[in-house]
Structure 1
Amino acid sequence: MACSKIFTGDLPEISTYIIQNLRNDIKSLYSCILVNRFLCRLAIPLLWEDPFSIKYQENLSCHFIDIYFLLLNENDKNEIKNIKYSKFDSYLHKPLFNYPSLIKTLNLYRMKLHIVNWLNSTSYNTALISNSNQKSSYNPLTLINHLQNDSYEEGLQLVRANEKVQIQPINIICIILFKLFIENNASLNNLYISINVYSQNKPFHDIYYMIINNPKFISKLSLFSFEFYNWPTLKQNTVQNIESLQTFLSSISSLCTCIKHINFYYKCTDDIEFEKNLANIIQSQLQLSSVKIGFPMNLLSKVPLFDSLKYSSNTLTSIHFNSCIFSDSMKFDALSYLTKLESLQFKNCSGLKSKVIQPLLNINTPLKIKTFVIFDTKIEEIIPIQLLIQKIGSYIEILILSVRNDDFRKKLFDTIINFCDKIYFLHLNHIDFMNISQLSQMILIFNNYLKYLIIEIKFYEPNHFSINTNYNIDHENDYKKVSSMILKELNNLLPYYLDLNLVINPNDLKFVFDNCNQVKLKKLLIRNRSTNDLDIILNIIKEFSKEKNLEFFSYGIGNILSIEDQVRHKNLELLIEETQSFVKMKRYDDLVVKISDIDGNLL
Structure 2
Amino acid sequence: MPLNSFKIVMDQKFAPEYFVTIFRFLRLKDLHSCLLVNKYWAICAVPILWEAPFKINDSFTPSPKVIQTYLVFIPDETFFELGYSKRIGLSIAKPPSFDYPSFLKEFSYDRFLNLAIANNCCKDIIVELLKIFAINDTKLRRFNTYDYLFDQHLECQDQIAPLVLPYFSECNLIFSSLTYLECIYQWPMQKVKLFNAIAQKCHSIKTLKVSVWHEDEGKVLANLISSQKHLKKFFLINSNNFASFPIQALVDQKHSLNSVTFEDMHNNHDLSETKFFNYSICDLNSDAVDVLSQCTNITKIKFKHCEGLNSPLFLPIISTFSNLISLEYSYGTHKIYDATTPIKLLSGLIKKSCNTLKRISLEWHSLDYLDITQLIKAITQRTINLEYLKIPVYTLEQLVLIHQAFNQLKKLEVH
Gaps of 5+ in 2: 266-280, 333-337
Aligned to 1:75: 77
**Are positions 1:375 and 2:321 aligned together?**
no
Match for 2:260 among 319, 327, 333? 319
- Work out the CA distance in 1 between the residues paired with 2:173 and 2:109: 18
Aligned to 1:395: 356
Deviations 1:467-523 (A, max 9, x none): xxxxxxxxxxxxxxxxxxxxxxxxxxxxxxxxxxxxxxxxxxxxxxxxxxxxxxxxx
Q: TM-score, normalised by structure 2?
A: 0.78
Contact 1:335–1:359 (Cα < 8 Å) also in 2 = no
Aligned to 2:127: 175
Contact 1:275–1:304 (Cα < 8 Å) also in 2 = yes
- Work out the CA distance in 2 between the residues paired with 1:16 and 1:275: 40
Aligned AA for 1:326?
A: C
Shift of 1:443: 6.2
- Work out the CA distance in 2 between the residues paired with 1:342 and 1:403: 22
Match for 2:174 among 193, 210, 217? 217
Contact 1:178–1:207 (Cα < 8 Å) also in 2 = no
- Work out the CA distance in 2 between the residues paired with 1:173 and 1:201: 15
Q: How many residues align?
A: 378
Q: TM-score, normalised by structure 1?
A: 0.55
Aligned to 2:10: 6
- Work out the CA distance in 1 between the residues paired with 2:30 and 2:143: 26
CA RMSD of aligned residues (A): 3.5
User: What SS does the aligned partner of 2:181 have?
Assistant: strand
Match for 1:192 among 144, 151, 155? 144
- Work out the CA distance in 1 between the residues paired with 2:406 and 2:299: 24
**Are positions 1:407 and 2:350 aligned together?**
no
- Work out the CA distance in 2 between the residues paired with 1:411 and 1:347: 22
Contact 2:54–2:108 (Cα < 8 Å) also in 1 = yes
Aligned AA for 1:360?
A: I
Aligned to 1:555: none
Aligned to 1:146: none
User: What SS does the aligned partner of 1:52 have?
Assistant: coil
- Work out the CA distance in 2 between the residues paired with 1:66 and 1:327: 45
- Work out the CA distance in 1 between the residues paired with 2:406 and 2:349: 22
- Work out the CA distance in 1 between the residues paired with 2:95 and 2:105: 22
Distance change in 2, residues 1:73/1:387 (3 Å): same
- Work out the CA distance in 2 between the residues paired with 1:174 and 1:207: 10
**Are positions 1:208 and 2:166 aligned together?**
yes
Distance change in 2, residues 1:333/1:74 (3 Å): same
Distance change in 2, residues 1:5/1:430 (3 Å): same
Structure number with higher relative contact order (C-alpha < 8 Å, ≥ 6 residues apart) = 2
Contact 2:140–2:177 (Cα < 8 Å) also in 1 = yes
Shift of 1:424: 4.4
Contact 1:289–1:316 (Cα < 8 Å) also in 2 = yes
Contact 1:431–1:456 (Cα < 8 Å) also in 2 = yes
- Work out the CA distance in 2 between the residues paired with 1:83 and 1:259: 43
Distance change in 2, residues 1:62/1:214 (3 Å): closer
- Work out the CA distance in 1 between the residues paired with 2:303 and 2:118: 36
- Work out the CA distance in 1 between the residues paired with 2:16 and 2:147: 43
- Work out the CA distance in 2 between the residues paired with 1:329 and 1:336: 13
Contact 2:68–2:119 (Cα < 8 Å) also in 1 = no
Aligned AA for 2:219?
A: K
- Work out the CA distance in 2 between the residues paired with 1:337 and 1:88: 55
Shift of 1:311: 1.1
Distance change in 2, residues 1:19/1:409 (3 Å): farther
Aligned to 1:416: 379
User: What SS does the aligned partner of 2:84 have?
Assistant: helix
- Work out the CA distance in 1 between the residues paired with 2:409 and 2:305: 27
- Work out the CA distance in 2 between the residues paired with 1:409 and 1:39: 60
- Work out the CA distance in 2 between the residues paired with 1:72 and 1:442: 67
Q: How does 1:461-480 map to 2 (within 5 A)?
A: none
Aligned to 2:45: 43
Q: How does 1:153-552 map to 2 (within 5 A)?
A: 169-194=121-146, 199-205=157-163, 207-209=165-167, 211-227=168-184, 234=188, 242=190, 245-266=191-212, 268=213, 271-297=214-240, 299=241, 301-324=242-265, 325-327=281-283, 329-331=285-287, 332-353=289-310, 355=312, 357-363=314-320, 367-376=322-331, 379-405=340-366, 406-407=369-370, 411-426=374-389, 428=390, 434=396, 436-437=399-400, 440-441=403-404, 444-447=407-410, 450=411, 455=413, 457=415
Aligned to 2:101: 100
Shift of 1:370: 1.8
Distance change in 2, residues 1:2/1:392 (3 Å): same
Aligned to 1:479: none
Aligned to 2:277: none
Shift of 1:346: 0.6
Aligned AA for 1:16?
A: V
- Work out the CA distance in 2 between the residues paired with 1:41 and 1:442: 58
Distance change in 2, residues 1:228/1:255 (3 Å): farther
User: What SS does the aligned partner of 1:28 have?
Assistant: helix
Aligned AA for 2:282?
A: F
Contact 2:329–2:362 (Cα < 8 Å) also in 1 = yes
Aligned AA for 1:224?
A: L
Deviations 1:392-432 (A, max 9, x none): 23322333221224535554444333333444455x36566
Deviations 1:271-316 (A, max 9, x none): 421111111111121111111112444x3x4443221111101111
Aligned AA for 1:212?
A: S
Contact 1:396–1:420 (Cα < 8 Å) also in 2 = yes
Gaps of 5+ in 1: 120-168, 236-241, 458-603
- Work out the CA distance in 1 between the residues paired with 2:284 and 2:261: 20
Shift of 1:252: 3.0
- Work out the CA distance in 1 between the residues paired with 2:401 and 2:23: 45
